[in-house]
Structure 1
Amino acid sequence: MKYFIATILTKGKKEKIGLYAEDRKEANKYAKLKFTGLIIKVTEGQEPLEAQFKRFKTTLLSNIKKRKIKPDFLIAAIRQLAVMTNAGISIHDSLNEIADATNDEALKIVFSKIADDINSGHSLSSSMENFRFELGNLTIAMVHLGEKTGNLDEALYSLANMLEEIRANITKFKKAMAYPRNVMIAMAVAFTILISYVVPQFKTIFEQLHAHLPLPTIILLKLSYIFNNFGPYVLALLAIAYMVFNYTINNNEHFRYSWHKLLLKTYLIKNIIKFSTLSRFTLVFSELIRAGIPIAEALDTSIGMIDNLPLKKKLLSVRLTVEKGGTLNKGLEETGLFENMIIQMVRAGEDSGTLDTMIKKVAEYYKMRFDSIIDGLSEAIEPIMLLIIASMVILLALGIFLPMWDMGNAVQGRQ
């Protein structure tokens, strides 16, 4: 959102009022609706420091208050909505009934507000746009598909199946991470206890004997000093840093792009993000193509649900290629994201008129690749886990025993 300054003539006096809008056209429209008097001009301006702080505080609090709907409740609600829509019950009544029946507070609030928006004349997808965080990009993309094709109930059934697949993958991910997570927590607790209670005892001994301290021991003593004297401050600083980071990610597109780009270069994480994104993209795209949506429009909707900005940028180039008259396989090839086998399959689908079938096969292939990564996640994390554990053990061992060996050698030398 950009900051604009509206100059308004009211009661013979000029007054300048700040407002936020996407562009000048929207700012003019908003100023006419909100302010009374003659609007002389609306110009883009520098946001005052006080307004920046106020916006930061409001956004931060709103992000803290936001809660995603629990997957189980969302899937059940989507299935209920599909059944009711198929039975001919109006969307407004269906949403209100689901909101009244659910035990999830976030779902109750979201569905009630969407029902109110629909009652005001908005479409279901446009009403859901206000709750993208709570519902997710995939939900909005599939509802948009249902409205375009006139088969909202089918789109909702497909959406529920996709959400169940995603939930199953998340469950697999959590199970794969359970053992490494528990081991690392145990090591962190043990390390904290040693730093807090054991290392200070050795520090007293080393000071009394005036022992020469090697680098590992100095590191341990510094960590012990920081933890015992500034522990709460360090935790508070980490919490503030996390909130600022989260705020910056949500409100600064350039920073978010850089962060997403870094994740795509990180060991193991890059493959999880890449194949999960391509799996969902091809799955939604295949549904759109099967429903008879034009390729360029189907690409636009499918790309809209992608969270990772660098991947989104690459896939947007596919849409541009298609809009200029190029083939889909050429656009996909230019991104560098798809293997040659996939390009050949898409080319064969375009040539034979079976593109929807081929894209469905591609979606199944990427789902298989993603499932394979999740299944092998535990083995892939083990080297990292062992490296961290070994580093902690070596630091503790060398930090405590090296000075003791030096003192032992010194005593033997004197004898």
Structure 2
Amino acid sequence: MKYFIVTVLSKGKKSEYGFYAEHKKEAQYLAKIKFTGMVLKAVESSPPLEDQFKKFKETFLSNIKKRKLKQDSLIAAIRQLAVMANAGISIHDSLHEITEATTDKTLQIVLGTMAEDINAGHSLSKSASKFTYELGTLSIAMIELGEKTGNMADALHKLADMLEEIRRNIIKFKKAMAYPRNVMIAMAVAFTILISYVVPQFKAIFEQLHAELPLPTKILLFLEHLFNTYGLYVLGAIVVFIFVFRYMLDHNREFRYKWHQFLLKTYLIKNIIMFATLNRFTLVFSELVRAGIPIAEALETSTAMIDSLPLQEKLLTVRTTVERGGSLHAGLVETKLFENMIIQMVSAGESSGQLDAMMQKVMEYYKMRFDAIIDGLSEAVEPIMLFLIAGMVILLALGIFLPMWSMGNAVNGRK
């Protein structure tokens, strides 16, 4: 949105008003509706400092408060919308009915706004794109597919199936992580109690020794001092860091890109992100190709729904290759993301004219790989969990007992 200063002539007097609009004509139109008189001109300008501060405040607060829709509510709404669209009910009336029926406040706001946008002449995909955070990129891509193919009901049914599959994977992920998470929480609580209440009891003894303490003991005493003296400040700093981190992640593309790069280099997380992304990419792309959408256009839509910026950047090169007259499998080779087996399958699909069927097989392969990672997640996390537990136990044991052994040796030496 740009800021325009519009000059209005009313009762022989010129007045200037500020408007946010996409372009000059829209600003003039808004002024004409709001004020009586003749609109003389509209000039693009910088917003006043108060408006800039207000906009920043609203953006920051909305970033903190905003939340995604509950998956159950979203899937149910999409199912209802698909059934109504199949019955011939208009999208506007369907959205209005679902908005009235749902008890989810966030869903009411999203669907209500979309209904108003459609009533104003906007497309469903354009209206839905305003709520990318709430609906998710997959929903936007499938709505666009419905508009391009002219079969919105079928696209919405497929979207609901995909969201249910994603929901099942999330549930499996949470179940796999439940035991390691509970163990680590218990260890963290025990470690905090020991640092806060047990270590101080030994601190007085260690101070009486007036001797050089071993490194593990120094680390324990430092943590004890940090927890008991600056605990609230540390907690406050963590909260502020989380808010700033989230704001930068949502509003700074360069920061988000580097964060995604870091995740793609992190043990275990990189495989989850990689195969989840390739699974969703091939899923949407195969549906688009099967619906008869041109390959270049299908690549654009399926790439736009990818959350990981580095992976999105690599997959965008495939579209460039295809637009220049290259083959799809040649573009996939350039990304270095796909295995040789996959490249051969795509090449065979292009040669035989059965690319849609072959992409379906590729999608099933990546789904299988992703499911295998989720199923083996608990076993993969166990070594990390054991390493952290062993580290905490060794630190506590050496930190407390090494000075005690030194005292015992000193007493025996004097005897």
**TM-score, scaled relative to structure 1:** 0.92
- Counterpart Cα distance in 2 of 1:230 and 1:240: 15
In 2, the alpha carbon distance for the partners of 1:20 and 1:326 equals: 43
1-structure distance, mates of 2:255, 2:318: 24
Query: 1:104 — aligned with what?
Result: 104
Supply the distance in 2 between the matched residues of 1:77 and 1:5 (Cα, whole angstroms): 36
Report the more deviating stretch, 7-16 or 274-283.
7-16
Which whole-Å deviations, capped at 9, do the CAs of 1:88-130 have from their partners, x for residues lacking one?
1111111111112222111121111111111111111111111
Rounded Cα–Cα distance in structure 1 between residues aligned with 2:407 and 2:29 = 81
Following the alignment from structure 1 to structure 2, what is the Cα–Cα distance between the partners of residues 97 and 276? 34
Query: 2:6·2:28 contact (CA, 8 Å) conserved in 1?
Result: no
In 2, Cα distance between the equivalents of 1:299 and 1:264? 22
Aligned to 2:316: 316
In the other structure, the counterpart of 2:137 is 137
For residues 198-347 of structure 1, the aligned pairs below 5 Å read 198-347=198-347
1:59 Cα deviation from its structure 2 partner: 1.7
Question: How does the TM-score come out when normalised to structure 2?
Answer: 0.92
Distance in 1 (CA, whole Å) between partners of 2:326 and 2:95 is 42
Alpha-carbon spacing, 1:54–1:146, altered in 2? closer, same or farther (3 Å): same
- Counterpart of 2:399? 399
Distance 2:170 2:408 in 1: 54
In structure 2, the residue matched to 1:151 is 151
Tell me if the contact between 1:211 and 1:403 (Cα under 8 Å) persists in the aligned partners.
no
Tell me, in whole angstroms, the C-alpha distance in 2 between the residues paired with 1:170 and 1:117: 32
SS of the counterpart of 1:67? coil
The 1:30/1:396 distance shift into structure 2, 3 A limit, reads farther
Aligned residues: 405
Determine helix, strand or coil for the equivalent of 2:122: coil
Structure 2: distance between partners of 1:383 and 1:67: 33
Residue by residue, what CA displacement relative to the aligned partner does 1:262-300 show, whole Å, maximum 9, x if unpaired?
111111000100100000010000000010000011111
Question: 2-side partners of 1:217 and 1:301: how far apart?
Answer: 57
Task: Give the alignment's Cα RMSD to 1 decimal.
Answer: 2.3
In structure 2, C-alpha distance between the alignment counterparts of 1:203 and 1:284, rounded to whole Å = 61
Task: Tell me, in whole angstroms, the C-alpha distance in 2 between the residues paired with 1:86 and 1:167.
Answer: 25
Contact kept? 2:20, 2:27, Cα under 8 Å: no
**Residue aligning to 1:191:** 191
Aligned to 1:82: 82
Q: What are the ranges of 5 or more consecutive residues in structure 1 without an aligned counterpart?
A: none
| 1:212 and 1:403 in contact (8 A); partners too | no
Are 2:366 and 1:366 equivalent residues in the alignment?
A: yes
Give yes or no for contact 1:7–1:14 (8 Å, CA) kept in 2.
no
Q: For residues 256 and 52 of structure 1, what CA distance do their matches in structure 2 show?
A: 23
Q: Which residue of 1 aligns with 2:353?
A: 353
| Per-residue deviation, residues 174-199 of structure 1 (Å, max 9, x unmatched) | 01100100000000000000011000
Which secondary structure state, in structure 2, belongs to the residue aligned with residue 213 of structure 1?
coil
Cα distance in 2 for residues equivalent to 1:154 and 1:256: 34
1:58–1:337 Cα change, 3 Å = same
* Contact map agreement 2:195 2:220 (CA 8 A) in 1: yes
